A = this chain, B = another copy of it.
Amino acid sequence: MNSIIGYYSTQFGELWDKSLDDLFLEVASGILEELRIETKQLDAIFVGNMLGGVVERQLLLSAHLSELLDVHIPIYRTEAACASGGMAFHSAHEYLKSNPKKTVLVLGAEKMTDITASEITQALATAASHKEQSVGLTFPGVYALMAQVYLKKYGYSEEHLAAISVKNHAHGILNEKAHFRRLISIDDVLESPYVAYPLKVLDSSPISDGATALILTNDPQMMKNRNIATILASESATDTISIARRRRLDEMESTKVAGSNAFKLAKLRREDIDVMEVHDCFSITEILALEDLGFWKKGHGGAQAKEMATYIESGNNLIVNTSGGLKAAGHPVGSTGIKQIGEVYLQLTQQAKKRQVKNASYGLAHNVGGSGGVAVVSILGV
């Protein structure tokens, strides 16, 4: 079985004194030192990054890592917009399925704060269709359209969305690596400025720098005396680049397909899942995710959100985004998918400290690229 034996993360935030290479080196050295693994014990590296070329003029990241770590092993860069990290993890899992007794490093890193907010928004928009880009429809706008449809169709208000951010900030204060560590109220969200109606600043994940790393192995020797979580499934699916070509705007087909395939493969029921990290780039996205993954019936998510049904203090059986989610932990896009897996790993191996969910045995991570053009759903167990 393919297992995760360790996770490491840099601080997430506006790290103006760190370059993309600095982040790579910090997170790679961090995890290797913590696990006492040498680079010569690694058989391959998988790296998720979206904007290296567009923003930092840094392509061929594999060769950057070869130089930083002094290795000549295969290094795979995956790019799937905000699901780049999830795809790096997914690809590493595929690799291990056919290569026995191997150990691989999975990295995600993104450097986003060296340019203006307007420039980074335009850079992120390269993951939208040309037509959407040409009419000025950036991702806040795309998700705002989804939110409008959802609120209208099921009779919810902006307060229902706001509760997602409130919950995730309440989780974020428990995560020492989070970009934001302060409580916010429903009123704070409602009073924050609109980004694209009905989404406001506090419905939106921030622009962050940060890097994350996992070590995966299928080598029994390497698993000895380690904190281990097993990868039960990692499935990905795709959908149209253009939202105009979607059948519906109140669901994500890619999430539904990847989720359904992952549960079949893992042979688990929804109620088996104890902890979950889902893609909350905007508040609406978390609601759609829980519905499309099959945890809440379509249209019921708004009510569940308002009740903070997945808050760690709720006493319920499913806790979502203990890391603070993209909203509070931050969203360095290439790192996010790996942070999600890392958070689930920490929960399942009882290393989540103040935010530990009791008796967590199964967890799920859900990472989205673009407006749902790619989704990766992974299920872990102990």
* Min CB–CB distance A377 → chain B (angstroms): 11
Q: What chain B residues lie within 8 Å of A59 (beta carbons)?
A: 50, 54, 79, 81, 126-127
Identify 13 new A-B residue pairs, CB closer than 8 A, beyond the known A58-B126, A66-B238. Answer: A57-B126, A59-B81, A59-B127, A60-B373, A62-B373, A63-B240, A63-B374, A66-B240, A72-B238, A74-B237, A75-B238, A94-B94, A94-B99
* Min CB–CB distance A319 → chain B (angstroms): 28
- In the complex, the chain B residue whose C-beta lies closest to that of A235 is B74
A239 at the interface (CB under 8 A from B): yes
How many copies, total?
2
Which secondary structure dominates chain A's binding surface?
mixed
27 contacts between A and B (CB under 8 A): A54-B54, A54-B57, A57-B125, A57-B130, A59-B79, A60-B79, A60-B127, A62-B373, A63-B239, A63-B241, A63-B373, A64-B241, A66-B240, A67-B129, A67-B242, A72-B239, A72-B253, A72-B257, A74-B237, A76-B91, A79-B79, A91-B91, A94-B94, A94-B98, A94-B99, A97-B98, A98-B98
List residues 223-255 of chain A with CB under 8 A from any CB of chain B. Answer: 235-242, 245, 253-254
List residues 30-65 of chain A with CB under 8 A from any CB of chain B. Answer: 50-51, 53-54, 57-60, 62-65
